[in-house]
Structure 1
Amino acid sequence: MGFKSINRILILLFTIVILASCKEDKKVIKQTEVSFKKEGELTIFKSDSTQVVIDIEIADTDFDIQTGLMYRNTMQTKQGMLFVFDDDQPRSFYMKNTRIPLDLIFINSNKKIVSFQKNAKPFDESSLPSNAPAKYVLEINTGLVDSWDISVKDSISYIISL
């Protein structure tokens, strides 16, 4: 074997080593399912004196409010997420990274329902405004506002589980 052949082999080996060390680590990052964590119970008091009771998860920190129901595949019928803000003001939500179609119920500081955004589409980043000042926002599965016949001026109360 001549000097040129050895040089070519060394260059080839060196190139292979360099390419192998520069190769990206292609680990698969798997998004884990975020599961529902019951943190309280919410009652909707309807004008016809009937009530709807659901389990709620509470979003009251900046992280929880920003994340909401993102990355979840399902939510049970009698479950929802209650967003709690410090004051009444116009609110706007969107469905970025949210896989579940939702109804949004906007509620003022007197715990009266002031408006809805029904049938919010998964992954849609369009603005979903409250159209009235709200302190709370309740997210439930799409179609439940109509199914439960919830109306503006119905009211809510909730308790936090210990």
Structure 2
Amino acid sequence: MKRRIFLLGSLLAPLAARAQPGVNQPQPKLRIEDLTIVGRDGTRHLFHTEMALDPNEQTVGMMFRTSMAPDDAMLFDWGQPRESAMWMRNTLIPLDMIFITAEGRIHHIHERAVPQSLATISSRGPVRATLEVQGGTAERLNLRVGDRVIHRLFGTE
């Protein structure tokens, strides 16, 4: 009997070890929508944004991705304003996290989140969504609190 259990276990082990998004591999690319941030001087910055809409997509986020283009982003829609707390577990690249109000204004920016850190990154107040972009983007584009975000989610299209 012990031998049968061992054989069954050894046959099932490869199935259990298969790649699973968020556990040991990135999730497939999500649906892409354009999002624009308008700076105080009127400069427009276009991002090709993956939409993380459901809890599974949001849990995996950018985990295990090894690169991100300068105009790529991922938008986490919380559905309604709430405190947002993010971390960088299994995230291999530095990210800027941009926290956006329901009215489509940047509420807070956390720059250059440290890859694989378990430290909590807070929105510092209720937000409708969190936008992740390549680390250093906020500084490079001179993004600031109060900048306007144009996207259907905020009714600002």
TM range, smaller chain: 0.7 to 0.9
Aligned in 2, Cα 1:32/1:132: closer, same or farther, shift over 3 Å?
Answer: closer
Determine if contact 2:26/2:63 at 8 Å carries over to the other structure.
Answer: no
How far apart are the structure 2 equivalents of 1:159 and 1:92?
A: 23
Equivalent residue, structure 2, for 1:77? 70
Equivalent residue, structure 2, for 1:144? 137
TM-score scaled by length of structure 1: 0.78
How far apart are the structure 2 equivalents of 1:33 and 1:128?
A: 21
Segment of structure 1 superposing worse, 68-77 or 138-147: 68-77
Q: Would you say 1:131 and 2:115 are equivalent positions?
A: no
TM-score scaled by length of structure 2: 0.81
Cα shift at 1:88: 1.3
User: Mapping of 1:1-162 within 5 angstroms?
Assistant: 22=6, 25=10, 27=14, 29=18, 31-159=24-152
Percent identity of the aligned residues? Answer: 24
Superposed CA RMSD: 2.2
Letter in 1 for 2:113: A
* Equivalent residues, number: 144
**1:103-148 Cα distance to aligned partner (Å, 9 max, x none):** 0000000000010111111111110001121111000010000000
How far apart are the structure 1 equivalents of 2:134 and 2:99?
A: 15
Letter in 2 for 1:106: F
Segment of structure 1 superposing worse, 55-64 or 37-46: 37-46
Cα shift at 1:70: 1.1
Cα shift at 1:90: 1.6
Unaligned 5+ segments in structure 1 are 1-17
Determine if contact 2:26/2:62 at 8 Å carries over to the other structure.
Answer: no
Determine if contact 1:105/1:113 at 8 Å carries over to the other structure.
Answer: yes
Greater Rg by CA: 1
Determine if contact 1:42/1:157 at 8 Å carries over to the other structure.
Answer: yes
Q: What SS does the corresponding residue of 1:132 show, helix, strand or coil?
A: strand
Unaligned 5+ segments in structure 2 are none
Q: What SS does the corresponding residue of 2:115 show, helix, strand or coil?
A: coil
Aligned in 2, Cα 1:159/1:55: closer, same or farther, shift over 3 Å?
Answer: farther
